[in-house]
Each structure stands twice: as C-alpha cells, then as structure tokens.
Structure 1
Amino acid sequence: MKKSRKLRDYIIRSNILAVLLPILMVGLLVVSIIIYYNEKEMQQKNHIITSTIAQRISQMLDKPIADLKEIADIMDRQILSTDKTMEYLETVVTHADYLEGLEIIDENGRVRYMAPFDQHLLGISRVNQAYYQIANRQEKAYFSTSFISQQTGSPALTVAMKHESKVLVAYLNLEQISLLSSQLSESYGNNMLVAITDRRGVYISYKELEKVYQREMDPNIQMIREGIQEKDFYTGKHRDHWITAYPVENANWYTIVYQSVDTLYGTVKRIVFVGFLVMLIFFVLSASITRRNLRKITHSFQELLAQTKEIARGNYERRVQTDSFEEFHQLAESFNIMVDKIESRNRRLRDLAYFDPVTKLPNASYVHDFLGKMLLKHQEANKKLAVIYFDLDHFKRINDTYGHTFGDEVLTQVGERLLAEENQSGTVARMSGDDFVCVLPEIKDLETVLEKINSLRKKFALPISSRDTEVYLNISFGIALYPEHGDTVGILLQHADTATSASKKEGRNKYTFFHESMKLDLRRKMDLEKGMRRALENQEMSLCYQPQVFAKTLEDRGVEALLRWHHPVFGSVSPYEFIQVAEESGQILAIGEWVLSKACEKLASFNGRLSHKLTMSVNVSTLQLRSRGFVDMVKKYVNKYKINPSLLELEMTESVFIHSFDEAVTILNELRGIGVKISLDDFGTGFSSLSYLRHLPINTLKIDKAFVQGMETDKDTEVMIDSVITMAHNMNLDVIAEGVENEGQLQAMEHFDCDMVQGYYISRPLTEEMLGKYFEKKNDENS
C-alpha cells in the first residue's frame, strides 16, 4: 500500500479558504445521509421485531380457533353423546393450558355444554353478551377486548365462532403473553421497550405489570391506530423515543416498540466528533490551496459520499478506497469497519431469526414461513407436498446418561449430516429438542416420500462419536400430506408430529402416515402422562403381590411386587401401557422410588408376622438403575425398615446392559455389596448371549413366560429350557420359571429341576389383604 502523506505538511502549502468551504458542505451532507441511514436501519430492525412478535402471537391465538374447529368437526360427525361431549370438552381444557373454559351455546342463546362444568351456568342465556351477538353476525371468529378474569385474576380474552345455529366460545388465559414484555426487556436492555395492547390501546403486556392489571392505555394509541390505517405498520418519532407498531391481525391487537433516541444517535455523534477533529486539523494547518490539491481533497470525500449512498440503497459490497492523506485513510478505514459491523449485525439478526445455533439448520420460524409459501405455490399449481416430521429415538436417555453438553454435541453432528441431506432435496429444519422436519415439495407419489425416508435413515447408519463415546441413533418418522391431511401450516405440522408419536408407539425406528384415529390415541397418552403426575399424591397407585414357590415342595419362597394404577377416568390401566408412558416422561424415577419404599415396608411387615422369611422381588427400570444415587436410595430403605438385605431381590431386564455393559456391571456389584439379590428378568427375550451370563453379578435367572407356555407345542423349546436351567445351575444361579398356568407346566419345570415357579396356576397377583388370607390358608393346609 502506498504510504500516505501527512495532512499537516500538505495543508500548509494549500489554500485554507478553497478547502474549508467544500469540506464543511460535504461533511454536513455526509452526516445527514448517515443519520438518514441509521434511522432507516433502526426502523427496519424494529419492524422485524414487531412483526415477528405479532406473527408469533397470531400463531398462539390460532390455537383456540383450531380447538373450536375441531370441536365443530366432532359435533358435525355426531360421534359423542351429551356426557361424552362434556367429558371431551373437559379433556380439551385440561390439556390446553391457555384455555380457562369452553362453552357451546345453542340456537336459543343458552349454554348447552361447558367446561369446566358449573351447574349454575349450564343453560344460562348469553343472548345479551356482545361476543354472542357479534359472532352470530359474522362468519369469521370474533376476538373480544381483553379483561381481567374473575377466576384467575389474569388478563383474559373471549373467542367466539359461529357454527351453523350454534356459537362456540373459548375463554383464553393471557398470562403468558402478559409476561412477554418483561422477558424481552431482559434481552434488549433498558433502551428498548416492547408493549402489546388490544384494539382499544389497553395494555395486555408491559414491562411494568401493574399497568396491565390496572388496565392502563397506551398514550400514543390514537396516533398509532391512525398511522396503521394508512399502511401496514406505523413508525415515527415522539419526544425522546422512536415508536414502531405492527398489528396482530386476527385479534386486532398492536405490538409496539419504544426505542430511546440516544441509542440511534450514539454512532452519529462519534462520527461527527471524528469529522470535527479532521476539519479542525484542516483549518489550523491549512495555509494555501490550489485547484490541483483541492481536487485531491474533494476526491476522498466524493468516495465517502458515494459509499454512503450505496449503503442507503442497501449495498454493502463497495468499500471506500483512498490513498491521498493518512487522516482520510484512517477515516475510510473507520467507515469501512462501521459498514462491516452493520452488515455483520444484519447477518446475525437473520441467523437468529431463522437458524438454529446448535445444528446450523433452519429453525421453526423458517419452516412456518417457508411452508406457508410452499402451500400457496402448490395450491395454485394443484400439486402435492409432504411434511416429514421425525425425531431421534431415546434421545432423552442420551441426555440423562451422558449429560446435556454431550447431547448438544450429538445434535451438532446430526445437523452436519442433515445439512448434506438438505443440499440434495427438500428443506430440513430443527423444530425443537430432538424434533426435526423435512418439507418435500412437488411429490409425484408416495414412493418419493419413502425414498426420502430411506435417504435420511442412511445418514445415521454409522454411529455418532464424541468424547470417545459412540451412540447409534434410530429415527421415528411421521408423514402428513397436502392436501389430504391438512391445508394449513399448523395442521400439517401437528398431524405429522402426531404420526411420529404413533411410530414410537409401534416400536420406534418406523414411519407412519397420519390417520384421523391417531388424535384419540395421542390424547389418551397425554392424559395418562398428565394424570400420572398426581397419581401417587391421589393414592391411585397400589401394589399387588404374586407368590413364588419352590417347584418340588410348593413351599413359599417369596412374592413379586407388581404395580397397579386405577385412573379416575380410564379405570384400571394396563401396566404395559402406563409403564411405557412413565419411562418416556421420566416419571418412572419417582414412581420407582415409591414402589421400592412400599415393597420394603411390606417386606418388614410380612416377615414380622410370618413364621418363615419371605423374599420380596421388585422390578427396576433401566432409567432407575442408571440414575444418580440409586444405590444410596436402596441402602436408605433397607436401613429405614430394618430388613435383611438378602431378602430383597431387584429384578431387571437385559436392556440395562445396552448402553454400557461395564457401567451396569459396576452398579450391580455395588448393589450386591449391600447384600441384596439381583435377578435377570424375562431371560431369552433380550439381546444377551448365554456366554454373557458368566460375567453378570446376578443371583437368579427368570425364564420368560413365553418359553414356558410355548414348550407344550414346541419340543425344541423344552430342550432349550432344560439347557438354560442346567447351565444356570452350573454357574450357581437359581432359576425361576414365570407364567406357569397349568399342572403340566409345573410338572415339566419340576422334571427340568427348576428351582422355583410363579404364575396363575400357583396364584394370581393378590392385594395385601388377599395375600394375608393366602398365607393363612397355606398354614392351615400344612398344619
């Protein structure tokens, strides 16, 4: 780079009057253009913020409309009785935390159905209510003005929608939206304030919540409302703030951003200060000037002016180049740095709005925008589109086992593999957590969708490695097709997600196309998960006990504790159903501790009353065994109830060894160190080979009931059971055969020298009271 000359030496030989005037004029012009650009850039940024918030609020307000449409659809199909309709509305309100209540108003204006149920309000007339009158006059849904709910004390809103001769009403709780301003203030700082008002200007969300609950109005609402009537949004300066507002169209609300003027003019002041210093240097050091030198000086300013105009047009490619004076060179470098920072900030804003920082994939906001555009395009061209929703099977287990930092590293590598897939066909994005979506446009047939699914599966055929640990990932897919399964962004994504849940229910690592029947299955699972959170507190869960006896003498060896759940709505729920829900939701840890505590308590009680000592078998899940403090928890309850640890037997399946064989063996050895027994349950249905048994610190082997029941029709099964029992005895293991249901099976187990048996032929699972009678009867028979 050519060495710049000192301006001081040059200006001494120049004419100060010929230089100073154009410098002042150009300097004022440059400052004016910079101020104009900064104002425009601020307006664009605030417009993005207000429109994004308005869009997200609009999506939130679409949810109750979708609920009302789903209720209307069910009413049209007439598939529910009056009681079932009430129960269904209760289920919807319970499931949706944004709903305070639902009402169905008949053609006479009276409440026919409602949730939560209130005998005093059932049949009450709503004819004089404004929302009923307005909803009856218009086709689209009506949003009332906000109010403070008498039930919750929080801001609330009424949504009413006409359906044939009826009016469907939803009462919304706006508490989450009311907290939005204070949450955003933590992100944007004190120089920016975000507010949300209803159509009257009453605050729904404000940094100071007192203004929300006191129903204060925004002082500038009239000016904002008039400005938005002229164009889609409003922006303007008022006193010491810039105001930007954008409407929430479906509810006629406004999102408003107040930004302090100081944040806007801070950069301008610094540039003006630098410019003033430069001009002062020119003034003090200038002596004379010539036309030739004047052209050299003004050329640098012309470059700076041209660049400023290009920035005002949104072009950041051009940079200021000058080699005349060192001061000009420094000013150009500073100006170029400012342009780089503005361009980088705009890029970061776009990445923050539309891309996930962990996987580098597009995020949910991008998917909503992109899918919306694709639906319009496909609707006009009458073409089909597929939404493939997929997530990583058992990813929560990876987080629980190796930590969330490891989980994020896995997601980063998942993103790298999916980015390569996105370059081939379709748009792949991360929705949240381990949920991903692929939008496949212009599909010709279902074969195209299946080819895409196979392509995604191949991406994860090899394990993901991080920190010397390898994990294999399986993927469950759910597919929703446009227009067969929905014609809006929200419905297609929801139905594809529902289909993914169905794939998991079928055994994971599968794909499933959406079907209407899936909605009821998913709602039941969600209701079970929600009810499970209070099942222990409400004493809905209990233990039953199935006796285990010695095969040769039929003397009691002990009992196995079995968990039962009587749901207040669904009645008795199968353990095969609710145990899976408990494991997927993580509630198995709390439930498992309760089972262990109760079993130890009852073991101490039984052995305190009986003449012989019983063994209590308790089932332990993989998540329990791998959770922190499990060994200490077992010690706690053994000591608390003062039981002999050798009479407590923990049963676990072969799945505990899937993730880390060595880690599982270490934990089992610690449990053996306490003195408790370890039993390998359902042997023969898992992955372990017989050679693995010699390395396992176990006491007992339980043969799965499928083999016991299958030996009557399959001689090979008899040979296998005989071999397993012989091998187990050679390794000093006791053997229990479960599922013994007739005398022939009992005799066969005795013939094979099986140690103990368990099954309905001996006794079905018994309550604590029934178990006491069982022992009394056995004592009477033996005496």
Structure 2
Amino acid sequence: MKVLFDNLSLRGKLTAIIMFTGCLVFLLTFITFLVFQRANLRTTLLQDSLVLCQTLGENCASALIFNDHDSATETLQVLTEKSNIIDSRVYTNDKRIFAAYHRHLIEHPEIDRLPTQDPLTQNFKFSPTDLTVFKQVTYQGEVLGTILLRTDLSTVNDALMRYTWMGIIGFVLYSCLAFLIASFLQRLISKPIEDLSKTMRTIALEKNYSQRVTQQRNDELGSLFKGFNNMLAEIEARDTELQANEARLDHLAHHDPLTQLSNRRLLHARIEHTLSQARRSERQVAILLIDLDQFKKINDSLGHAVGDEVLRAVAGRLKKHSRTSDTLARIGGDEFVIVLEHINSPDDVTRYLQGVLESLGQAIKVSGHELYITASVGVSLFPENGEDVEELMRSADVAMYKAKDSGRNTFRFNTPGMNDKAHGQLLLESELHKALEQEQFVLHYQPQIELNSGRIIGFEALIRWMHPERGLIPPGDFIPLAEESGLIVPIGEWVLNSACLQSKRWQAQGRPEVRIAVNVSARQFRQKTLIQTVEQALQKHQLPPHCLELEITESMVMDNVESAIVKMKALNDMGVQLSIDDFGTGYSSLSALKRFPLANLKIDRSFIQDIVTAPEDAAISASIIALGKNMSLKIIAEGIETVEQMDALNAKGCEHGQGFYFCKPMTPENLEEIYDKCWISSCPKTSQTTSAAQRPKEVTASG
C-alpha cells in the first residue's frame, strides 16, 4: 500500500488523502448512527415489551388467585394483535406453566422453564433474533407467579438493514461527491506546484535560467515560488558570469593578449579548415609568415613597453590591409601569419605583399619616437609547398629566412630546394651538438709575425670541424649556424679552454711564452658569465693572463658601449689583452674607441687585398696604422698573401701581420716544427694594457 501511495503523483496523493479523510469521517459517522439507532430501537422495543408484560401480569393476577387457567389463557390471546410477539407464558411460583400463548402454536424449548436471572437485577434478555422479558405477577405485594413475553427482533433488524443500505448508497454518492470536491481542492495546491515542476523541467531541458514562476500567492507556496525565482535569478547571474568567463577564457586561449589577433592554436585550426575547403574547390591557399626586421633593437634600446606599442600598431596595419576572408595571427614575439584564401595565382600574393610592406614601411609614432619598421616575409603555397599545416608553416619559415638573407624588407616564395637546404641546416645543427659532445672540433693555429724581423710573436687560434663523414669543415660553414642557435657559447668556451691548454702545453715542453689570440663571438661577449669563464680557463690551465688575447669586433662593443667598457676593463685588469678584429669594416666612433682598454687593432683583410693597386685601400690602411700608433696600439694586418702587400704595410709603419704568405693555419703538431725553427719573441710581461688615460687625448689619422 505504501509503495502504491509513494508512486502516486502529488495530485493523486492529495486526492486520495482528501477522499480517504472524507470517506473515513462518513463511515465513522454512519457507524455511530447505526449503533445509536440499534440501541434506540432496542430500548424502545424493550420499554414497550416491559409495559405490555406489566399489563398482562396485572390482568392475569386474578386468574392466578382463582386458579382459572382459561381466564389467563384468554387474557394472553390479546397478543394475537401484536405481530411481533412470538409467545408468552404465565408460570406459577413452583415454575409450572399456568397459561401460554404461541403465535405459531409451536412450543419453544427455551421457555418451558423459567429463566434463572435475578429479577431484581435483570428482567430481560436479548438474543440475535428475539427479546425475552419477564415480570413477577403480584397482588397486594404477594408474588403470585411470573409472566414471560418473547418479542421478535425482525422489525429492529429490518430497520437497521434499511439504514445500512441507505448508508451504502449514501457512501457511494458521497465518494463521488468527495472525489469531485477533492479534485477541485487539490488543484488549489497541486496546480501551482505542478506549474513549478513544469517550469523546472523546462529550465533543466532548455538551460534557460531567465524564466520565472509568475503566480502571485501570499501563502507558503508564494514563499516557495519567491525563493525559487530568487534562486533562478542567482543561477542566471552566475551562469551569465560563467559564460562570460568561459568566453573570456576561450578568447584568451585562442587569441594573442597583446594584439587580440588569433594565436597559434586558433591559426592551426583555421588553416586546417581553409585547406579542407581548398581541397574541395581545388584552389590555392597562401601562408604568409611575417617577421619584423631588427625588432629586438627596439626592445633593447627603447624598452618592452615601446616594443608592445609597435606590435599593436603593426597588427592594426595588417588588419586594415587584410580582407574579411583572410586569417591574421600573431604566433611569436615579432612574428605574424596571414592566411590568404581565394587566390588565383602567385601574382595575387605578390600584389598583396607589396601593399603590406608599403603599409608597414610608413613611420610609427610611439611614445615620442618616430620609428620605421620593415619586415621579411616568407610565402608558402598550397598545394605546391605542402599538404598540411606543419609542412606549409615550415616552408613559409624557410622562405622567410631566405628573405632576411636577401637584405630584409622583402618577401620570398618557397621554391624547390629551399626546404632541403633548411633540412640540411637542421641536420647540421644536430650534428653540431654531437660534434661538441664527441670532441670533433680541432684548433688550427696561424702565426702572427713581426714584419721587420720575421719573428713569431703569437698565434691566432682558428676552429675547424673534423667531421667523421664530411671531413674538414671550415668555420664559415657552421659558425653562423652556431651563432644563431646559441651553440657558439659552449663552442667558444671549448675554444678558449683548448687554446689555453695548448699554450700551456707548449710552455711545459720548454718553448717560450707566446700570446694566443682567441676570437669571441657577439653572443659569447654578451654573456654575463664571460669574465668568470675566462678566469676559470686561465686558472684551470695555469696560464698567465698576458699570454691570452681576446679578439672582438667593432659592432660587438658598439651595441652597448657602457656595458662593453665594464667587461673590457675587467678583462684588462685581469691581465688579458684585447684587440679589435676586422677594424674598419664595422661602425665605431673615435670618442668611444679611445675609452676601450685595447692592446691591438687588426686591419681587415678586405683592405689588405688590394693595398698595392687600390689607393683607397692603401689610404685606409695608412689611416688605421696612424690611428693605432697615436693611440699607442699595436697594428696587426690580416690576410697578407704576397711580399708586395707585406712591403707596403711595412713601409706604412705596420709592425705585425699574418696570412698565407707566412703560414696557413695548421694543427699544433704540424706547427711545432716552424715554431722551433723561428726565433720567437716572448709575449709582454706587463699585466695591464696602456689605459685610456695614458693615451693622447687628441687622435689624428694621416693617410
């Protein structure tokens, strides 16, 4: 029953409760009515029977006195008019039947003898079918006998049966009426709750938390609806905020926070979608990889805040120039990508890029600075340069570097062979790592000669790569790649340590001290640990600092003059000699140059090559020599290949030189024979180079 009730709907439960309560009240009332009627009918019948019995007893008293049976019997015959009287008897005191009346003339076995009840306490007896009453017959206080009267209960039972049927019919009618009333009453409660439930189901299905329950009530249901609406309002506000946060997170996950352009993830998805459409329509797609030229200088010189403003300005210009169907993204620090759809030929891309480069080339005014930005662009075409995103991006990247190699502020399409070359560079970079780990690098040494005497005054350490399969690889084939990848730093440390070790090894073999010149790359010079690295190398190999010379270039120190001076003074204070390599090919100011604690200036080979035949080169060389002498610097000429070049330099006052005329770079083993045969001048013992304060304040260069 409980399970059945639990499975009913709220409407059914309320209807059942109302009907059950009403019917229960009806039944209890009806049962009470029946009990009352039964008692009332029996009481009435009992009183009538007692009165009748009393009357008959009084009438039979004389008959008992005179022992007149016939008179008593005749008196009892009046009961024939009473249809509900079954029988009656008059008993003498000795309990003999004196007179009797039987309605159906049938002897009743139970009344052949007198009842044993005490007449003082009870003078009647109810059975299921009849009522028996008896009363003593007295005369002037003397008990003459007893009269007994038995009455049929059918009239009472018939009345009760009529009431019962009336109750059943009434119950049925009442149940129907109760159902109708219950159905109406339960709707006053269940209808609002069902509406609430329906609203909840709709909200759960549609996830629309802006819906509200509109019923106005002032009872508990009204409080429930108000609370539900308040809850919906809170959920709606929370859901709105959540959706806004999700949208914001999605935007952050797929867009560059600085420029609000698509990022690499969104770009990848859009390119895949574009390629899918292009395959169906058999049309070309162009991937343009744009890299800003020299952008790092803006960040380093003007700060990242200015750099960010420049990136925003570039993004804005690219947006204005792009079509609605194009995809524009920023994938790195200063790298942008444009995906061009619906192109008919590479000429369309060319015209588009000409407009892009022209737009980017216009001045950008940022924080009081007027900046001019150029870009190098690499182009890959679908399907010519690749079938998937990675391949097309890789092809565009290769083409972009080709554009940079071609002078910047231009664009290049990916052509057959470009990727192979790039793959070769990647392979070479991987092999560079192995070469460093497996010690495939070797040092060759080229003597530096005193031109007047021909004596060896030092050596320049030059790195070579002894590849196990390719053989000897010159530095021009791998040093630029090492510089770009950052491997030049550990390679440079290896060169420094190997040169110090070789110099100390020669000294340990009894040879005089000699200066070893080691080239320092731009990336290596910028390392904060440069001073510590040089100091550790000298200590590790116990090499006197004055036997080590570090060669740096003009551009290397002019990028950040003050920082360069700090490092150079620290090295000079340590006792290490410093020289400017390839002097004359870079850019430097004499005001900055005189502040550098230098020992040597090396004239670049480009001025030496035509010094005999080209007056301009001769004049430049003479000026550098004069400049060095005025600044108390030693001059070393690079790339001397003929005796005429040596004589010309000697005539102009150049003291030292190096080149193939004297000796090619050689391994230490092959060089030792020349080392021992030549008269060698020991390297200077002074621990410090002439300081800037000791040099002439005015420097003149004569030609």
**Which interval holds the TM-score relative to the shorter structure?**
0.5 to 0.7
> Per-residue CA shift, 1:628-656, capped at 9, x if unaligned?
21111111122222222122110011221
In the alignment, is the contact (CA less than 8 A) between 1:359 and 1:413 conserved in 2? no
Query: What is the deviation of 1:408?
Result: 9.8
Q: Verify: 1:724 aligned to 2:624, yes or no.
A: yes
In the alignment, is the contact (CA less than 8 A) between 2:216 and 2:222 conserved in 1? no
> Per-residue CA shift, 1:414-445, capped at 9, x if unaligned?
25521441232143213356543112334466
1:459 alignment counterpart: 360
1:138 alignment counterpart: none
**The one of 539, 545, 549 aligned to 1:645:** 545
Q: Verify: 1:636 aligned to 2:533, yes or no.
A: no
Query: What is the deviation of 1:388?
Result: 1.0
**Helix, strand or coil: the match of 2:626?**
helix
2:520 alignment counterpart: 620
Q: Give, in whole Å, the separation in 1 of the partners of 2:424 and 2:365.
A: 34
2:320 alignment counterpart: 423
Distance 1:699 1:370, change over 3 A: same
**Helix, strand or coil: the match of 2:421?**
helix
**The one of 435, 439, 451 aligned to 1:539:** 439
Distance 1:487 1:479, change over 3 A: same
2:576 alignment counterpart: 676
Q: Give, in whole Å, the separation in 1 of the partners of 2:276 and 2:436.
A: 50
CA RMSD of aligned residues (A): 4.0
Distance 1:423 1:463, change over 3 A: closer
Q: Verify: 1:516 aligned to 2:413, yes or no.
A: no
Q: Give, in whole Å, the separation in 2 of the partners of 1:455 and 1:666.
A: 45
2:666 alignment counterpart: 766
Q: Give, in whole Å, the separation in 2 of the partners of 1:541 and 1:475.
A: 36
Q: Give, in whole Å, the separation in 2 of the partners of 1:638 and 1:508.
A: 41
Matches within 5 A, 1:315-334: 330-331=230-231, 333-334=233-234
1:561 alignment counterpart: 461
Distance 1:521 1:411, change over 3 A: farther
In the alignment, is the contact (CA less than 8 A) between 2:314 and 2:360 conserved in 1? yes
Q: Give, in whole Å, the separation in 2 of the partners of 1:407 and 1:448.
A: 35
Q: Give, in whole Å, the separation in 1 of the partners of 2:523 and 2:441.
A: 20
Q: Verify: 1:388 aligned to 2:288, yes or no.
A: yes
Q: Give, in whole Å, the separation in 2 of the partners of 1:472 and 1:592.
A: 35
**The one of 189, 194, 216 aligned to 1:25:** 194
Matches within 5 A, 1:43-192: none
Query: What is the deviation of 1:678?
Result: 1.0
**The one of 271, 275, 281 aligned to 1:371:** 271
Distance 1:472 1:670, change over 3 A: farther
Q: Give, in whole Å, the separation in 1 of the partners of 2:259 and 2:455.
A: 61
Query: What is the deviation of 1:776?
Result: 1.9
Q: Give, in whole Å, the separation in 2 of the partners of 1:628 and 1:470.
A: 32
Q: Give, in whole Å, the separation in 1 of the partners of 2:640 and 2:627.
A: 21
Distance 1:679 1:462, change over 3 A: farther
Distance 1:365 1:630, change over 3 A: same
Q: Verify: 1:440 aligned to 2:349, yes or no.
A: no
Query: What is the deviation of 1:332?
Result: 6.0
| Matching residue's letter, 1:591 | I
| Matching residue's letter, 2:502 | K
2:380 alignment counterpart: 480
| Matching residue's letter, 1:552 | N
Q: Give, in whole Å, the separation in 1 of the partners of 2:362 and 2:600.
A: 36
**The one of 403, 417, 424 aligned to 1:503:** 403
Distance 1:330 1:567, change over 3 A: same
Unmatched 5+ stretches in structure 1: 1-15, 42-267, 288-296, 302-324
Q: Give, in whole Å, the separation in 2 of the partners of 1:490 and 1:529.
A: 20
Query: What is the deviation of 1:349?
Result: 4.9
Distance 1:331 1:412, change over 3 A: farther
How does the TM-score come out when normalised to structure 2?
0.62
In the alignment, is the contact (CA less than 8 A) between 2:457 and 2:680 conserved in 1? no
**The one of 598, 602, 608 aligned to 1:708:** 608
In the alignment, is the contact (CA less than 8 A) between 1:478 and 1:514 conserved in 2? yes
| Matching residue's letter, 1:616 | I
1:740 alignment counterpart: 640
> Per-residue CA shift, 1:120-146, capped at 9, x if unaligned?
xxxxxxxxxxxxxxxxxxxxxxxxxxx
**The one of 563, 575, 595 aligned to 2:475:** 575
In the alignment, is the contact (CA less than 8 A) between 1:653 and 1:681 conserved in 2? yes
Q: Percent identity?
A: 31
Matched length: 493
In the alignment, is the contact (CA less than 8 A) between 2:291 and 2:334 conserved in 1? yes
| Matching residue's letter, 1:651 | E
| Matching residue's letter, 2:239 | V
Query: What is the deviation of 1:737?
Result: 0.4
**Helix, strand or coil: the match of 1:569?**
coil
Distance 1:21 1:28, change over 3 A: same
Query: What is the deviation of 1:342?
Result: 3.6
How does the TM-score come out when normalised to structure 1?
0.56
1:350 alignment counterpart: 250
